[in-house]
Amino acid sequence: MDTETTPQTAVTVNQILERYERDCLPELAPRTQKDYTRHLAKLRRVFGSAVAAELRPKDFGEFLNVKRGKVQRVKQLAVLSAAFTQAVSFWYCLERNVLRDVKRPKSQPRDRLVTDAEFKAIRSIASLRIQLAMDLAVMTGQRQGDLLSMKWADIRDMAIHIYQTKTGKRLAIEITPDLEAVLDRCWLLPRRSEYVLSTRKGTRYTGEGFRACWQRMMRKAMRRGVLAERFTFHDLRALAATRCATPEIAMRLLGHSNISMTMRVYRRGVERVKALQLSPT
Residue range 147-191, pLDDT digits in tens: 999 999 999 999 999 999 888 899 999 999 999 999 999 999 988
Residue 146 has pLDDT above 90, yes or no: yes
Predicted pLDDT of residue 281: 66
Give the model's confidence band at 5: pLDDT under 50 very low, under 70 low, under 90 confident, else very high: very low
What domains sit in the chain, N to C, each tagged with a CATH number?
3-101 (1.10.150), 116-266 (1.10.443.10)
For 232-277, the pLDDT digits (tens) are 999 999 999 999 999 999 999 999 999 999 999 999 989 888 899 8
Residue 193 has pLDDT above 50, yes or no: yes
The overall average pLDDT reported for the chain is: 93
CA-CA distance, 183 to 177, in Å (whole number)? Answer: 10
Give the model's confidence band at 1: pLDDT under 50 very low, under 70 low, under 90 confident, else very high: very low
For 43-71, the pLDDT digits (tens) are 999 999 999 999 999 999 999 999 888 98
Predicted pLDDT of residue 233: 98
Region 19-24: mean pLDDT is 97
Region 89-114: mean pLDDT is 93
27 backbone dihedrals φ, ψ, rounded to 5°: -85, -10
Predicted pLDDT of residue 96: 96
Predicted pLDDT of residue 278: 87
For 27-45, the pLDDT digits (tens) are 987 778 989 999 999 999 9
Q: At how many degrees (to 10) do helices 207-224 and 116-125 cross? A: 100
